[in-house]
Structure 1
Amino acid sequence: MTHATTPDILNRLKRAQGHFAKIVQMVEEGRDALTIAQQLQAVVRAVDKAKVALVLHHIEHHLEEATGPLPDETRARLAEMAEITKYL
């Protein structure tokens, strides 16, 4: 399984894709700019979260590849690192 096909990342991207399609429809219908901008911001956040999930999965995968199975303590530290990335 590649990083891009992990279920979590794929689900996030598919949700963003569906949401974006609805925004295109809103533009075609002439909806107001404020509503469209708010919805666009939601898609941007969803794509950013998918990107973070992809990068974190990549890091964890290659750490395990280089060192073997990760101990629970290391996984806990990685989870802490993942948690703090929401503030980037």
Structure 2
Amino acid sequence: MLQLKSIGTPLVLALALLTLAGCDQAEKSAQQMLDQAAKSAKQAIDDTNKAAQQALSDAIGHEGHKPKEADKKAHTQEI
């Protein structure tokens, strides 16, 4: 019985260390997954922002040219 107790304590400690090492590895993997998800989310936000800015630029650009042309006509009519 004495030998079983003397073997049991180091065995329990070794299993605890292995469990902690496994937890550390799991934490690193989870962190890598979160980093990748954050990069993907940032890329999606950047792409959406770029598309929205382009759409806004197109909308303002097309409407912006018409008043300028109308202003030119108004100035020529005044002369």
Which TM-score bucket, shorter chain as reference?
Answer: 0.3 to 0.5
Larger radius of gyration: 2
Point out the structure with the larger helix share. 2
Question: What TM-score comes out, normalization by structure 1 length?
Answer: 0.41
Question: What TM-score comes out, normalization by structure 2 length?
Answer: 0.46
